[in-house]
Amino acid sequence: MLDLKNLTIEKAREGMTKGEFTSADLVSAYLKNINKKNKESNSFLEVFPDILEQAKRADEMIQKGEGKELTGIPFAVKDNILIKGKIASAASKILENYVATYDAFVIKKLKESGAVFVGRTNMDEFAMGSSTQTSAFGVARNPIDPTRVPGGSSGGSAAAVASDMALVALGTETCGSVRQPASFCGLVGLKPTYGAVSRSGIIAMGNSLDQVSPLGKNVRDVEIIFNAIRGKDVMDATSLDSSLATEGVGGGNTIGIPWHLFESGVDAEVMENFNASVEKLKKAGYKIVDIDLPYSKYSLAVYYIIMPAEVSTNLSRFDGMRYGLSKEGENVSDVYKKTRSAGFGEETRRRIILGTFVLSHGYYDAYYNKAWRVRNAITLEFKNIFKQVDFVLTPTTPTPAFKIGEKMDDPVAMYLCDIFSAPANIAGIPALALPSGLTKGGLPLSIQFIVDHFKENNLFQIGKKFEEML
């Protein structure tokens, strides 16, 4: 019997290479768990009917000696990443029956490696949310405590891995959408450097922020996935040469902590755990210094101006005329109105309205342009701080996983869940969230390391060392 709980990519790959089990065996074990658990967790919106065929093709690759690091490895895939011939709905009624006509760049890369796609996972509608409660297809539940959220927007991907319904998963990050679910579900989540991974074939939310991001049970799994999916793509002008991601290997040992960013509003157990984590790092020989990031405290405010503006522009394509849901109307304007009213959920409509407002005549300079000036200041602030320290350390989230329904009537409280995530997204720099302990009630806690552009390898190095301290 396969020990899915302790399985890693390298262990799975070794087992398949030695003939101890096949990819088909592995997939069957995960399918068994899906059949047991998914009805309650609602992690998967669809399990692909060709999953065993994919596994058999992977087994053939291995038998021929053509197997690669990810051959036969079962992936859960967030519902906003296109897989040719599969539905990609972004958890929205407006795209409920949309079938992708091409593969996302990251999917092409994984197909070439022989990975197996288990199914598409639940998410906040168009990735707008921090709890997977805005999905048009029902809430996803945290496998550690089903009365709580798994985080968002990549909550379905995180819950699938945490409940052993897939070995690893792909999510996307716009502002903490992988790191926060990783924190809530006891996983490792990476937000790569902006441009390190192509956005081609991702249903866009915020073009200047979105990044495909891996989720796994340990740092090494996340590292393997990142190395497989990164790289320059001619279909994405913002993507960059993957060789840049090898810069700065070796790291350094100075960790800066911006204590002023979490003087208040942070759960007591989160702070207690964070302080304990800092002590472990000190004992391991890392130098801990206090740092000041005066502009970074505005990251969330900047995000909630720039992101809705980009949402307003991106979602204008969903008009009932080209693809997706279409409602009949008396004229074009009426079709738009009826289609969008029926197709978009409340949070999506809220952000479209907010984005349209900040881009409107008379407010563009007051809000949007000012937000970009502050964004540039935040980016420069991090560039300068990384001349003094090698890593920046914060809690991943201000609280553990919260109850389903707890924050739905207070959008601002929900937005504040991303307060520690926002700086890395705004500056376009990489960050790694990893488990750091449990609350007294058994809920996962997490810390995050942030580094300079293209220093992902330093994140993996310190992340693996921290895992050994637990």
Summarised one tens digit per residue, pLDDT across range 220-278 is: 999 999 999 999 999 999 999 866 655 555 578 999 999 999 988 899 999 999 999 99
SS (HEC) of 313-360: HHHHHCCCCCCCCCCCCCCHHHHHHHHHHHHCCHHHHHHHHHHHHHCC
For 51-75, what is each residue's pLDDT tens digit? 999 999 999 999 999 999 999 999 9
For 155-189, what is each residue's pLDDT tens digit? 999 999 999 999 999 999 999 999 999 999 999 99
Nearest CA among 221, 228, 227 for reference residue 245? 227
Lowest mean pLDDT among 116-120, 299-303, 322-326, 446-450: 322-326
Tell which CATH architecture fits domain 4-246.
Alpha-Beta Complex (3.90)
- Which whole number is the average pLDDT over 75-101? 98
Domain boundaries, the chain: 4-246
Describe the strand order of the beta sheet including 444-450 as a list of residue ranges: 44-47, 116-121, 74-78, 168-173, 211-216, 188-191, 431-438, 444-450, 391-395, 254-257, 287-290
Nearest CA among 212, 209, 235 for reference residue 425? 209
Q: What are 77's two structure tokens?
A: 């895939």
SS (HEC) of the chain: CCCHHHCCHHHHHHHHHCCCCCHHHHHHHHHHHHHHHHHHHCCEEEECCCHHHHHHHHHHHHHCCCCCCCCCCEEEEECCECCCCCECCCCCHHHCCCECCCCCHHHHHHHHHCCEEEEEECCCHHHCCCCCCCCCCCCCCCCCCCCECCCCCCHHHHHHHHCCCCCEEEEEECCCCCHHHHHHHCCEEEECCCCCCCCCCECCCCCCCCEEEEEECCHHHHHHHHHHHCCCECCECCCCCHHHHHCCCCCCCEEEECHHHHCCCCCHHHHHHHHHHHHHHHHCCCEEEECCCCCHHHHHHHHHHHHHHHHHHHHHHCCCCCCCCCCCCCCHHHHHHHHHHHHCCHHHHHHHHHHHHHCCCCCHHHHHHHHHHHHHHHHHHHHHHCCCCCEEEEECCCCCCCECCCCCCCHHHHHHHHCCCHHHHHHCCCEEEEEEEECCCCCEEEEEEECCCCCHHHHHHHHHHHHHHC
Asked if residue 48 has pLDDT above 90, the reply is: yes
How confident is the prediction for the chain on average, in pLDDT? 96
* Share of residues in the chain with pLDDT > 90 (%): 93
Which active-site residues does the annotation give?
78, 153, 177
Asked if residue 284 has pLDDT above 90, the reply is: yes
pLDDT band at 323 (very low <50, low <70, confident <90, very high): confident
Q: What is the pLDDT of residue 64?
A: 96
Asked if residue 286 has pLDDT above 80, the reply is: yes
pTM over 0.95: yes
Between 409 and 299, the more confident residue is: 299
C-alpha dist (Å) from residue 44 to 26, 180, 335: 18, 19, 31
